[in-house]
Amino acid sequence: MKKLLIIPMLFMCSMVIGQSKKIIGNPIKIENLEVAQHDFPNRMTGDDAKAACAKLGEGWRLPTKDELNLLYQNKDKIGGFASSYYWSSTESNDNGVWKQYFDNGLQVINYSYSKYTKFIVRAVRAF
């Protein structure tokens, strides 16, 4: 019986690792950051975005507001960004979270982030 439980667990682990490699790809180094080569395939709420980045392991996370702006400033070097809003991890004092539009660089606060709104996610980690 124990052997039967191991097989599905191994399958699930391989799927998570495979998904992580597809997203992280070959990280691009910008200043003191490694940037995942790809966006997550689906838009996510802010809470789901934080959790998905953490599941990548080894320090992967959502970028801060300033790090996200650094990604925007280097978007041609990094590549693969959509002309859309991206999540940051920076919260405002009034229960909002910063996001940035990658078409024109506009940074704004989104107030319904955790429950309703879904944006694109790109993971980073410090090195």
Say which CATH number the domain at 23 has: 3.10.100.10
Determine the structural domain holding residue 63 and report its residue range: 2-126
pLDDT of residue 105: 85
Give the chain's domain count: 1
pLDDT tens-digit profile, the chain (127 residues): 455 544 444 344 434 445 688 899 999 999 999 999 999 999 999 889 999 999 999 999 999 999 999 999 999 999 999 999 999 999 887 778 889 999 988 888 776 555 578 999 999 999 8
- pTM here? 0.80
For residues 65 and 20, what is the distance between their CA atoms, to the nearest angstrom?
23
